[in-house]
Amino acid sequence: MDPRYTAQVLRRARAATATFGLARPPIALERAARRCGIGEIRPVDLPREPAALITQAGGHAVLAVDGRIPPHTPQWNGLVALVMARTLLPPSAGAADTNELAEVGAAELLLPARLFRPIAARTDLTMDGLRDLARRFSAPIRLTIRQWLLTGSWAGFALLWRQGPTGLRLTWRAASPGATYPATVVLGARADEVWRDRSRLDATFRTGRPHHGVEEVATGSRPAWWFTRFGIVREDGGRAALALVVFDRRGGARQVLRPEGIHSGSANRRPTAGRRSFPRRRR
């Protein structure tokens, strides 16, 4: 994504929620709808798509949501936020960036950074921590991860793997600002093309229990070692394995090939990870 487009979408999303002040989560998206040019959010019968923007006579814009989806649930909130976010996209943005930019805007609408950042900074980087954040904001897992990375509470990649007819494939990804994906980490990639040893990934999918450790991965050039947390998530009516790749904070976001050690412990929390060390005083 072009960082200029990202900054523009974030600026517009923050303007839409500026009147919320320091309201407690979850966020009522109806309050931001008019700032996105939407006059009403209405449940309707939508057999082809779960949510859509409909322009009625006189230019009145209605955000129509499948009436079978309970309002203000994570699914409902995610659908509404994504449609709202598409009204914030710059017209010059390329088609390839549209979906990712919409997720960036939707994450900011549903999990405003000024509310989300202090809560996320006190949350352990684990699957339980992720689910707790999503539950507090009544947000989908993917938007929660997206905002967690964008606000800088931790640095790394999030990779979602789904089982299909041809095995586990990468169906969604997110990265810290400024980070570059290796050549192998492309949407549709097979798990075997990324992970040298799939034992932890397969065990997570088989048992449903989280696993973590240092993994050897293929990058398209030299091998790399990533500290990775695997866990099972359920979104869009399906079951998927989520991999959270944690960068080595000593090298910053650009050092994408240097993982944290397996015994990182409290280093998953930003205040501890950012702690400085001082030289001992000479006697």
Res 44: pLDDT: 94
29 and 84 in contact (C-beta within 8 Å)? yes
Bond from prior residue into 259 cis (ω within 30 degrees of 0): no
d(CA 51, CA 67): 10
Instruction: Write the pLDDT tens digit of every residue in 200-230.
Output: 999 999 999 999 999 999 998 888 999 999 9
- 167-175 and 211-217 strand pairing: unpaired
Checking if the pLDDT of 279 tops 50, the result is: no
d(CA 46, CA 91): 27
Checking if the pLDDT of 259 tops 50, the result is: no
Domain ranges of the chain: 3-109, 155-266
Q: Average pLDDT over the chain, rounded to whole?
A: 86
The CATH architecture to which 155-266 belongs is 2-Layer Sandwich (3.30)
Helix or strand holding residue 204 (H, E): helix 199-207
Q: If pLDDT is split at 50, 70 and 90, which confidence band does 29 have?
A: very high
CA 1 to chain centre: 15
50-60 residues labelled b (16+ CB within 10 A) or e (exposed): bbeeeeeeeee
In the structure encoding, which two tokens stand for residue 269, read together? 């929390």
What global pTM score does this model have? 0.86
Checking if the pLDDT of 262 tops 50, the result is: no
Res 93: pLDDT: 78
Checking if the pLDDT of 276 tops 50, the result is: no
Res 129: pLDDT: 96
Res 58: pLDDT: 74
Checking if the pLDDT of 274 tops 70, the result is: no
Instruction: Write the pLDDT tens digit of every residue in 174-197.
Output: 999 999 999 999 999 999 999 999
- For residue 74, give the 3-state DSSP assignment: helix
Checking if the pLDDT of 257 tops 80, the result is: no
Which region holds residue 53: left if phi is over 0, alpha if psi is between -120 and 50, else beta? beta
DSSP tag of 93: S
Helix or strand holding residue 241 (H, E): strand 238-246
Q: If pLDDT is split at 50, 70 and 90, which confidence band does 3 have?
A: confident
